[in-house]
């Protein structure tokens, strides 16, 4: 069945805003500006300030939820399911995981390329699968285990591509790239813990997705904003690129924005895009399918890579192409995207139904997933 104009709009919105989210964050990292007082011009390296902006975008989803709810209640036949009442503190543990993972990923984005950043985030399915077996009692199918193995292979290929690309620069660059890649993978472990916590304690309360994202954004925004105060005094040496070498210098970030207003545009692009990305992702699941949402989420990696090449932010490396294809294959197998193709083969249709519980069950499992920020947090 052909897509309607509204469905095409939602798919385009998700793909566009998801790509802008990562690209705008990387764009901000590439600026240099003078800081406060007599500080010389230096790179804009403020990952925790960027993470606060991202959570502000997620927080906006809560406002969107109540606007839609208010609009729905005024209609003659209200159709919006606002979900059950729940204790908002249920979202605190997942929000803390989200806050930690997002902050680590923004630190890593300063060290590696935007395309590698997006590709390596595919590691989340490895840890989500393993943790779901250990703590949720879920039984992974053979195709999912195969998807995990292929994803590990894809991560190795992308890591090798980064290593050889950094080899053309100085040893400091190679160290930064390897550290950045490892931080991204470490963040995916925390993101997987977040998903398991959400599934075990949150999803059973039938909370509307926009409300769930917005509530986690509320916690993340206020907690991380408060943490910026002690971060201003924590000395970390050369690990930080700001002039005072502290964990985060929010005042320096604001001074740099004052000297280079385009930095604010990049930060706003990150904040606004994550809000629309979450809304579009939820809407695509509702209006089209969860499978389409997974495909679009994978395609934005390609868009980010192509745009980065076009802008001259990174160089073309054949290993990255191979790594992307391998990661895409692993993600597709894990999420059951091979099922519609094999279902058309008569000899495989019965085997698929017996092994994986049928297309309806696989679609339900896909529908449980949330778009990650940048995302993607």
**pLDDT tens by residue, 246-272:** 999 999 999 999 999 999 999 999 999
DSSP letter at 85 equals -
Q: How many domains is the chain built from?
A: 1
Mean pLDDT value across residues 333-353: 66
Is residue 367 a part of any domain in this protein?
Answer: no
3-class secondary structure per residue, 243-310: CCCECCCHHHHHHHHHHCCHHHHHHHHHHHHHHHHHHHHHHHHHHCCHHHHHHHHHHHHHHHHHHHHH
- Per the structure, the complete domain to which residue 266 belongs is given by 5-36+43-73+88-347
Is residue 353 a part of any domain in this protein?
Answer: no
Q: Enter the tokens of residue 354.
A: 């017996």
Which residue in this structure is represented by tokens 């398991």?
196
Q: Answer yes or no: is pLDDT of 88 > 90.
A: no
What's the pLDDT at 9? 92
For 140-180, write each residue's pLDDT tens digit.
Answer: 888 899 999 999 999 999 988 888 876 555 544 788 888 89
Residue 214 CA to residue 216 CA, distance in Å, equals 5
Is residue 110 a part of any domain in this protein?
Answer: yes
Is residue 78 a part of any domain in this protein?
Answer: no
Q: Enter the tokens of residue 369.
A: 């997933």
Mean pLDDT value across residues 297-319: 89
Q: Enter the tokens of residue 201.
A: 């304690």
Is residue 293 a part of any domain in this protein?
Answer: yes
Q: Which helix (H) or strand (E) holds 43?
A: strand 42-43
Is residue 366 a part of any domain in this protein?
Answer: no
Instruction: With H, G, I as helix, E, B as strand and everything else as coil, classify residue 37.
Output: coil
What's the pLDDT at 152? 94
Helices (H) and strands (E) in the chain, counts: 15, 2
Is residue 82 a part of any domain in this protein?
Answer: no
Going by C-alpha positions, the residue among 285, 223, 185 that lies closest to residue 94 is 223
Phi, psi at 87, each rounded to 5°: -85, 115
Residue 80 CA to residue 124 CA, distance in Å, equals 31
Q: Are strands 42-43 and 32-33 parallel, antiparallel or unpaired?
A: antiparallel
Is residue 81 a part of any domain in this protein?
Answer: no
In this predicted model, which residue has the larger pLDDT, 343 or 80? 80
Residue 23 CA to residue 270 CA, distance in Å, equals 8
What's the pLDDT at 209? 83
Cβ atoms of residues 114 and 304 within 8 Å: yes
């Amino acid at each position: 069945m052909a897509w309607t104009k509204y469905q095409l709009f939602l798919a385009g919105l998700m793909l566009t805003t998801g790509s802008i989210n990562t690209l705008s964050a990387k764009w901000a990292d590439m600026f240099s500006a003078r800081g406060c007082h007599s500080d010389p011009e230096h790179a804009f390296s403020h990952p925790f300030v960027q993470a606060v902006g991202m959570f502000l975008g997620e927080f906006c989803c809560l406002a969107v939820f109540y606007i839609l709810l208010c609009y729905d209640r005024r209609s003659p036949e209200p159709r919006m399911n606002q979900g059950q009442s729940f204790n908002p503190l249920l979202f605190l543990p997942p929000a803390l995981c989200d806050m930690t993972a997002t902050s680590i990923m923004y630190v890593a984005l300063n060290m590696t390329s935007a395309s590698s950043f997006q590709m390596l985030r595919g590691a989340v399915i490895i840890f989500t699968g393993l943790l779901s077996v250990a703590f949720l009692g879920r039984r992974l199918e053979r195709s999912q285990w195969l998807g995990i193995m292929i994803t590990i292979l894809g991560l190795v290929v992308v890591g090798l591509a980064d290593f050889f690309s950094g080899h053309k620069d100085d040893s400091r660059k190679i160290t930064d790239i390897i550290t950045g890649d490892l931080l991204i993978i470490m963040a995916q472990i925390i993101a997987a813990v977040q998903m398991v916590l959400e599934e075990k304690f949150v999803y059973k309360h039938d909370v509307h997705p926009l409300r769930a994202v917005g509530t986690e954004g509320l916690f993340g925004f206020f907690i991380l904003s408060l943490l910026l105060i002690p971060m201003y005094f924590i000395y970390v040496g050369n690990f930080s690129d700001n002039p005072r070498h502290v964990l985060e210098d929010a005042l320096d970030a604001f001074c740099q924005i004052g000297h280079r207003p385009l930095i604010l545009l990049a930060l706003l692009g990150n904040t606004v895009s994550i809000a629309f990305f979450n809304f579009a992702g939820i809407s695509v699941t509702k209006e089209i399918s969860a499978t389409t949402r997974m495909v679009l989420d994978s395609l934005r990696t390609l868009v980010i890579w192509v745009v980065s090449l076009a802008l001259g932010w990174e160089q073309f490396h054949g290993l990255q192409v191979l790594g992307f294809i391998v990661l895409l294959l692993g993600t597709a197998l894990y999420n059951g995207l091979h099922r519609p193709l094999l279902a058309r083969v008569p000899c495989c249709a019965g085997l698929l139904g017996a092994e994986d519980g049928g297309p309806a069950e696989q679609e339900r499992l896909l529908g449980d997933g949330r778009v990650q920020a940048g995302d993607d947090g």
